[in-house]
Amino acid sequence: MPQVKIIAKNFMDMVASLPAIKLDLLYRNQFICEAILRSLPPLAKKYVLQMLYIDIPITSKSLQEWLLADGSSKHKVAIDRLIQLRVFEVIDRKKETTYKLNSTFQTNLRKHMISGGILPREPMPQSVTARLPTSEELDAYAHEQWECFLLQLTSSGQAEKSTSFSDSMMRIFQRGLLRQRDKEAPRLTESGFQFLLMDTNAQLWYIIREYISNSEEQGVDQADLIAFLLELSFHTPGEAYSLDTLTDDQTTMIKDLADLGLVELQKGRKESWFIPTKLATNLSVSLTDSSSRKQGFVVVETNFRMYAYSSSKLHCEILRLFARVEYQLPNLIVGAITKESLYNAFENGITAEQIVTFLQQNAHPRVAEKLPSVPENVTDQIRLWETDLNRVEMTPAHFYDEFPSRDVFEAASDFARMHNGLLWEDAKKMRMVVKAEIHMLMREHLRGQNK
């Protein structure tokens, strides 16, 4: 069987990238088995559920008999995913490949399907926590925390309240989104500019992925953190859970997650607790799930005028990345997309496609129903202005002249052409320009010609 290449794009891709031993340890937790099952493509779920009580290997031919006539492409995607996550164990035989469910995964999923699972912690009684925030208050808290987090990233100094982020969070900033030189304020990198134009779910996953990678460098096991995050997605939003039920590493992580708005921390007279928000319970949701996308707010007109119906300072800062903001009213940001503002965005590493995608994903409901939601003349012009900057391609090169004879020049020209390194030549004046990558080869060739 060919090896399936793993590229970490969302939560389950990072789970799939874990070593086989750690994956088997994760599958001892019934809730993680359910989270894995939920994340699978529909056809992969069908295979798992049909094989759940089959203890013998199933041949590849037998699996294909469960397919509809047009399901061959979906079959390959399902099989690849199950192998990546080690849910399927591949048994190669001389005649035919067979598949068997991972025994640890199979045993614990059976138990969960029959009796249900019990979380490591139960919600705290209301007699201890008194009044808990309503669903609306919790959503507002999560939104405010996330906005504060992103405003900190833009270095705008406009966060509505002072936020002291943990060292773990600041390391993630410095890791790829911000750069800081001696005695200078932190500045966004190209990745940082691109990050701000992502949708919230993609941003959240990026931060979590970097957080997990960073924690491993601090000596914390990746598998333990992933297991805790998957467990967290099964907690009930708005319920209070005692901090005393957490390990030291989990307590540190909960405090970091509170910076992002995934949980709210509260303290009583004797006990402390955390309250998961919807951001935490959606952690294992696919990035392509459109149900988690927020309502749009941007209207772009054919004359490149832009109106953003928002009171958010963060939205204003994001729009400044590629547009000229002219003025801001209490619930309206007015601006324009100009050649100069776009050139500034392109120089910062933002692409035309990212800008167009952002405008389309955040289109106001009144225009989102139209096709296209952003006028075609605007999107076409954004792409054309980007190509203006890409007309000249910079290639490191070396210039050669003063050849001793025409024979040496022609031999050198043929040598450069043979190595696909000749960029320009003037046969009359015996001059040429070759790629820098073949400069050393050219030197050796010319030395040989001079002997």
Residue 286 has pLDDT above 50, yes or no: no
Number of domains in the chain: 4
Q: pLDDT value at position 451?
A: 63
Distances 166 to 17, 31, 252, 277 between C-alpha atoms, Å:
27, 29, 10, 20
Shared-domain flag, residues 182 and 97: no
Shared-domain flag, residues 177 and 243: yes
Shared-domain flag, residues 233 and 161: yes
Helices (H) and strands (E) in the chain, counts: 22, 15
| 120 within domain boundaries | no
Shared-domain flag, residues 41 and 68: yes
| 289 within domain boundaries | no
Domain region containing 179:
135-283
Bond from prior residue into 372 cis (ω within 30 degrees of 0): yes
Shared-domain flag, residues 273 and 142: yes
Q: What is the pLDDT of residues 333-370, one digit of tens each?
A: 999 999 999 999 998 888 999 999 999 989 999 998 88
Contacts 24+ apart (CB under 8 A), 125-128: 128/240, 128/268, 128/271
| 6 within domain boundaries | no
Q: pLDDT value at position 83?
A: 92
Number of other CB atoms surrounding residue 97 within 10 Å: 15
Shared-domain flag, residues 375 and 413: no
| 316 within domain boundaries | yes
Q: What is the pLDDT of residues 227-262, one digit of tens each?
A: 888 888 888 899 999 999 898 889 988 998 998 889
Q: Which of 230, 255, 283 is the last residue of a domain?
A: 283
Shared-domain flag, residues 177 and 155: yes
Q: pLDDT value at position 93?
A: 64
Shared-domain flag, residues 206 and 72: no
**Which CATH number characterizes residue 423's domain?**
3.30.70.2610
Q: What is the pLDDT of residues 200-223, one digit of tens each?
A: 777 887 888 888 877 777 778 888
What's the distance, Cα to Cα, between the start and end of the chain in Å?
55
Q: What is the pLDDT of residues 26-56, one digit of tens each?
A: 898 888 898 889 889 899 999 999 999 999 9
Angstrom distance (rounded) from CA 116 to CA 93: 36
Q: Which of 115, 148, 166 is the last residue of a domain?
A: 115
**Which CATH number characterizes residue 69's domain?**
1.10.10.10
Q: What are the start-end ranges of the H helices in 91-219?
A: 103-115, 126-129, 135-154, 167-172, 190-196, 200-217
| 124 within domain boundaries | no
Shared-domain flag, residues 382 and 411: no
| 288 within domain boundaries | no
Q: Which of 53, 86, 115 is the last residue of a domain?
A: 115
Angstrom distance (rounded) from CA 98 to CA 243: 46
Angstrom distance (rounded) from CA 272 to CA 241: 9
Q: pLDDT value at position 163?
A: 55
Q: pLDDT value at position 339?
A: 95
pLDDT category at 2 given cuts 50, 70, 90 is very low
| 3 within domain boundaries | no
In this predicted structure, which of 39-53, 157-171, 386-400 has the lowest mean pLDDT? 157-171
Shared-domain flag, residues 154 and 276: yes
Angstrom distance (rounded) from CA 417 to CA 316: 53
Which pTM does this prediction carry?
A: 0.69
Shared-domain flag, residues 194 and 248: yes
Residue 293 has pLDDT above 70, yes or no: no
| 36 within domain boundaries | yes
Shared-domain flag, residues 209 and 279: yes
Which residues lie closer than 8 Å to 207 by C-beta, 6 or more apart?
Answer: 172, 260
Residue 132 has pLDDT above 70, yes or no: yes
3-state SS record for 214-255? HHHHCCCCHHHHHHHHHHHCCCCCCCCEEHHHCCHHHHHHHH
